[in-house]
Structure 1
Amino acid sequence: MSWDEIVVVDWSAGNDTGPRPEADAIWIGAAGEEPVYCRNRALAESWLTERIEAALTTDRRLMLCFDFAFGYPAGFARAITGRDDPLALWSWLEERIEDAPKQNNRFDVAASLNRIFPGIGPFWGNGLKREIPDLPRRGSDRTCRWKQPRREAERLAPGAFEVWQLAYTGAVGSQVLMGLPVLERLRTRFPGRIAVWPFEPLDRPVALVEVWPSLIAKAIARANPDETIRDRAQVSCLARALAAQPDGRLEQMLDVPRDEEGWILGLGHEGALAEALA
């Protein structure tokens, strides 16, 4: 199992950040290439589409890695879609998320998800000025919490946050809500050409893979002591670390159960990834 190109994407759920490259935006890195800054998700989706088209045209195997969860804790997909299929949840979200460079409806969609369950929750973190019924600002205001709040991967990755938190320090839930619809559109645009890891066999020319650069945060910091934009450094470093792995080791990293929660590539192999940056 070999890959001709490995690309890492640092995602963002925020609004258009303007033409000047900055942190907390979308950064894309590929081994041996300068990082690409995308000021909004529409531009990032266009860049990804072109990259996939180029790989398919030249018959190259392409791995696209994204730093947000591909699944939710066990049972959530069935509660929403009636199926234990995380990709059905991707489709559900793509049909409901409205996205524009300066605004999106992620908080309202999260509130609609909360209304499916009794009480208040499990999503929290209303980051808007207006009040949104059924979406509390604080996690402590919830009366409905998922029976297992973290995915197994998050329980094993020190510092990983829950997917239910949508705003404030460390929040990752908004990235999931705004990222999965984009991946679903890519799957639809290239039917039969894209596989989603670990839910599907990697027998197609393009793979979508979940990563978390913070797995090797210390190694990235050592390799880039003068970098002022952490996101820019981590996409390049993780892409380089993954590309430097021998085929057998990368195959070991990819060899995980096809669990509905998904997984983080490289979890449990942090030493091998960090060593590649030494």
Structure 2
Amino acid sequence: MLLFDAYIFVDWSAANGVQPRRPTADAVWSGELIPSLNYQQETYHQTRKDGASHVINVLLEHVKEKRRVLVGFDFPYGYPSGFARALNLPSGTQAWWEIWTELALRVEDRTNNQNNRFHAAGELNAITGCGKTGPFWGCPTQYETNNLKRYSPGFPFITACGVLQRLRIVENRLPGTQEVWGLFGPGRVGSQALVGIPYLYKLRRHLELVQFSRVWPFETLFTVTPSVAQGPFVLHAEIWPGVVDDRVRQMMIIYPDLIRDRAQVRAMCEWAAELDLQGSLEHLFTQPKGLSPQQIQACIEEEGWILGAV
């Protein structure tokens, strides 16, 4: 039996300013696939708010039709273990949610796609830094302050409550992924997470979606049955387009004018749907091999996991 009836994946962006009307790269793109209806669509969004609103509207329609939906954004959903504690937030099973809540309170993203992510990172550094500047780093020169510097502070990073690693456990398994602390420069994903997690927080709490939604693996744990037999149901899962690099490469050969971001969300949708049809998608939600009990606990309480990492 299929786990999901529809698949939605988003290629996120932390870019400042409203993006051009004409679809372009390095902007927000969303992809949707409903196999039973033979429906597949990619949508370009000029701002993060536009993209998030689109996802909400699409999910509301799926819930109305009692569909089970897998939805994922391509930025980290968690931070290396110990971050909640370093921020003086409650740790334990809700550490991930405490961090999401904290970021939602501090990060402001306006309708013109301008945000305060560097200021927010400096505030977080002031709490965790223990007299040093970190763990967040990387910014344009004009945003550098006593609490946020352009260069890495070095890791492991010592806080008043312990030590923060540069990478999450899952990132050590996927060559090519980037650390969540770096905020500026080619390939850096830290800014995407800072401005993206507040949207996830609101999406998870949406009044018309909250009772049907869960976040993997924080709420579901690692499991072979991440979905339900009958919808409506919405499962949030972190994605990384690197898991479909070969598929994207082939797609770009066939369609050389295709914008890579668009190709990535299309490829992610097709990849998940095909695995689901084959009955093998469920294995990607199970407990990863080779993890200690302490590592498993860290992943389900604070760090999270990337769909497709084994």
State the TM-score, normalizing by the size of structure 1: 0.90
Relative distance call for 1:147 and 1:182 in structure 2 (3 A) is closer
Give the number of equivalent residue pairs. 268
| Deviation, structure 1 residue 150 | 0.3
Who is 1:21 aligned against?
Answer: 23
Relative distance call for 1:128 and 1:142 in structure 2 (3 A) is farther
Is residue 2:261 matched to residue 1:254? no
| Deviation, structure 1 residue 79 | 2.1
SS at match of 2:30: strand
Is residue 2:91 matched to residue 1:83? yes
- CA deviation vs aligned residue, 1:206-241 (integer Å, no higher than 9, x gap): 011101011221331122211442111010011101
* Greater Cα shift, 120-129 or 64-73: 120-129
Conservation of the 8 A alpha-carbon contact between 2:241 and 2:264: yes
Relative distance call for 1:222 and 1:64 in structure 2 (3 A) is same
Partner amino acid for 1:154? E
Partner amino acid for 1:14? A
Conservation of the 8 A alpha-carbon contact between 1:120 and 1:143: no
1:109 to 107, 113, 120: 120
Following the alignment from structure 1 to structure 2, what is the Cα–Cα distance between the partners of residues 214 and 233? Answer: 12
Following the alignment from structure 1 to structure 2, what is the Cα–Cα distance between the partners of residues 6 and 130? Answer: 38
Conservation of the 8 A alpha-carbon contact between 1:30 and 1:240: no
Map 1:143-182; keep pairs closer than 5 Å: 144=157, 147-182=164-199
Following the alignment from structure 2 to structure 1, what is the Cα–Cα distance between the partners of residues 80 and 156? Answer: 18
Following the alignment from structure 1 to structure 2, what is the Cα–Cα distance between the partners of residues 8 and 102? Answer: 20
Is residue 2:114 matched to residue 1:95? no
Who is 1:275 aligned against?
Answer: none
- Cα RMSD for the two superposed structures: 1.9
Unpaired runs of 5+ residues, structure 2, are: 34-38, 221-225, 288-295
| Deviation, structure 1 residue 88 | 1.4
Identity of paired residues, percent? Answer: 37
SS at match of 2:40: coil
Map 1:127-276; keep pairs closer than 5 Å: 127=140, 129-139=142-152, 144=157, 147-189=164-206, 190-201=209-220, 202=226, 205-225=233-253, 226-246=256-276, 248-256=279-287, 257=296, 258-268=300-310
Relative distance call for 1:128 and 1:4 in structure 2 (3 A) is farther
Relative distance call for 1:195 and 1:142 in structure 2 (3 A) is closer
| Deviation, structure 1 residue 143 | 9.9
